[in-house]
Structure 1
Amino acid sequence: MNRYLLNISYIGTNFRGIQKTVNKLEEARVDTHSIQGCLELALRVFHPKNEIQTVLSSRTDAGVHALHSTLHVDLERTDGKPYDTTILTGVLNRTLDKQNLPIRVLSCQRVQDTFHARYHAIGRTYLYRFAVSRTTPELDKKGSLRNKGYEAFLPVEEIDRCYFLQGNNFDIERLTAASRKFIGVHDFRTFMSVTRQKSPSRDHPMFTVRKIDEINIRPGKSLALGPNAETAEQNYNYWDIEVKAKSFLYKQVRRIVGTLLAIANARIDERCIYQMLTIPSKHNWDHRIQIAPACGLYLCRVHYRNDAFVIPDESSP
């Protein structure tokens, strides 16, 4: 039996999320609506002697993408030899491609049997992409957006890859200044969405305490091509929000980004952030804030220490 770490990326638009749903009544059925389920199905082409059970390092919700995520899996070959990691990568990608799945295995590597994709991770970096309209949208007689801006140009390459905003009084300096309030150790209970999953640890008073190591706001760029790229740059200012921490609560990043966008649009002020951080409660969420949609969120990197990877001797039989 050998353990392998898989470095993966994917577009999450058409998936329910990365984590598979386990149905005890249908244990043999593979959940192909999740990233994990599709990967486990692809791993079956190797016909290992053991049952395939992958372990995720991070969870992402429906519509969230990943530039880099990880999972580990144990595989026992019939002859007892380890799988060649290059062949493992190539066969998995070919299998996923045949099914037209937007999942890519970046690389595979053998790791110690004690390695754990989740528990050995020392940090995660998320990236949120959004674009702000350069022009003021046309208003109707009531002062509302006419047709919610559906007449505006939107590059087709960016559909479900970026969050597009109208540029009414948007102030990136306000956003940048407010982002500093989230850095450090806080009780983020107000910034956690309710989940159906039940766990004894969730009742612990320290469960919602997290440390945000970094929040960086940088100018972004369009992913559009050809003439669409020029038109997109003329119509929008692209921005990237990068958030780094050891771990995150359910929808914490999207709630933080939604709060920062509300600050930038002057729907709330910094006092609102102070109250939500100092009086942590699921009832203290300011409903003037819209949770940032999943389409703009990317799991950018899962971080490990270099000494977490002790590669077995590849020359052994």
Structure 2
Amino acid sequence: MHRWARTSTPSHDATTCSDEEPPHSPEVVRNAMNSFLRDHKQPIVVRQVEAVSMDFHSRFHARGRDYLYQIYAPRQLVHDRHSAKRSLPSALFTRDTAWHVPVPLDIQAMSEACGYFVGKHDFTSFRGVKCQALTPVKTLDHVGVEVVSLPDTYPFGQELQLINVEVSAPSFLYHMVRNIVGALVEVGRHKLKPQDIERILHGKSRQLAPRMAPAHGLYLKHVKYDM
């Protein structure tokens, strides 16, 4: 059996694909796997099983990947010490599933910066140190930033905002998504200008780019196949 889900520990797999050769129908396999996972108290659900050709490989036959990165940030700068402390309890519930940035982010500037990433570029400045890809050239189909409305029942939902960064491409370099998010956050904090992204890309040096975003906000959302 081949299992494919390349994300950095401790990031999350919203989508994981594996391939195997069972003598049963897809529905029987799905039900059996979910029963096994429930019995062993595993927080995983098999949503879909499909029959594929014998030469199918879950990693090498993937035609596209969609990543989601989640960020929590305050809606406005809090100067009062007691008010600032009040937002801390919300981090108890999401500290392992999202990046908590302690200052407001300029969503418009981040959205403008996203445009510089889209298309075919040399992403040397945004590849991980241990990346073994033969070429740093990748083509990004989509990079976007969206503010998600929090329900009224969410703790401190009036003070915080959830920001989703979505990145789609046929393939990625090691740590590429997290490095892109790190740069977008610096733009949102006004540490960088949106047009600085173009300069960093052309510089082709990891030292030009900001620090990498932490792993725990990253999700592999969807993997596309031609089947």
- TM score, norm. by length of structure 1: 0.64
Partner amino acid, structure 1, of 2:15: H
- Letter of the 1:253 counterpart: V
Counterpart check, 1:217 vs 2:145: yes
How far is the alpha carbon of 1:123 from its aligned partner?
A: 0.7
Question: What residue number does 1:300 align with?
Answer: 221
The structural deviation recorded for 1:185 is 0.5
Could you tell me the TM-score, scaled by structure 2's length?
0.87
**Could you tell me how far 1:186 is from its partner in structure 2?**
0.7
What is residue 160 of structure 1 aligned with on the other side?
A: 96
Inter-partner Cα distance in structure 2 for 1:214 and 1:258: 17
User: Unaligned regions of 5+ residues in structure 2, if any?
Assistant: none
Q: Based on CA coordinates, which of the two structures has the bigger radius of gyration?
A: 1
Which of 181, 193, 214 is the equivalent residue of 1:257?
181
Q: Which residue of 1 aligns with 2:60?
A: 119
User: Following superposition of structure 1 onto structure 2, how do residues 264-303 of structure 1 map, counting pairs within 5 Å?
Assistant: 264-282=188-206, 284-286=207-209, 289-303=210-224
| Helix, strand or coil at the partner of 1:154 | helix
**Does the Cα contact within 8 Å between 1:67 and 1:299 map onto a contact in 2?**
yes
Q: 2:112 maps to which residue?
A: 177
Match runs of 1:236-255 below 5 Å: 236-255=160-179
Say if 1:262 and 1:290, in contact at 8 Å, map to a contact too: no
Mapped contact 2:30–2:49 kept (Cα < 8 A):
yes
Question: Does the CA-based 8 Å contact 1:191-1:285 persist in structure 2?
Answer: no
Report SS of the residue matched to 2:114.
helix
Secondary structure of the residue aligned to 2:55 is coil
Spell out, residue by residue over 1:194-253, the C-alpha distance to the aligned partner (whole angstroms, 9 max, x if none). 22x7x5xx4x4xx1110001112222144x7x84x1x33212112211111001111101
> Matched residues, percent identical?
27
2:103, 2:120 → 1: CA distance? Answer: 32
Residue equivalent to 1:188: 123
Q: What do residues 240-285 of structure 1 show as CA deviations (whole Å, max 9, x unaligned)?
A: 1111100111110111011000011011223532232112133x33
Give unmatched runs, 5+ long, in structure 1.
1-52, 76-81, 141-145, 309-317
1:87 match: secondary structure: helix
2:77 match: 136
Q: Give, in whole Å, the separation in 2 of the partners of 1:178 and 1:137.
A: 26
Specify which of 38, 42, 45 is matched with residue 101 of structure 1. Answer: 42
**Is contact 2:127-2:176 (8 Å) kept?**
yes
Q: Distance in 2 between matches of 1:221 and 1:98?
A: 36
Distance 1:234 1:62 in 2: 31
Instruction: State which of 214, 218, 233 in structure 1 corresponds to 2:157.
Output: 233
Contact 1:215 1:242 in 2 (8 A): yes
Whole-Å separation in 2 of the counterparts to 1:251 and 1:220: 25
Higher relative contact order (CA 8 A, sep 6+): 2
Q: Retained in 2: the 8 A contact 1:129–1:220?
A: no
Q: Report deviation, 1:179.
A: 0.8
Contact 2:140 2:167 in 1 (8 A): yes
Q: CA RMSD in A?
A: 2.5
Query: Match for residue 67 of structure 1?
Result: 14
SS at 1:111 equivalent: coil
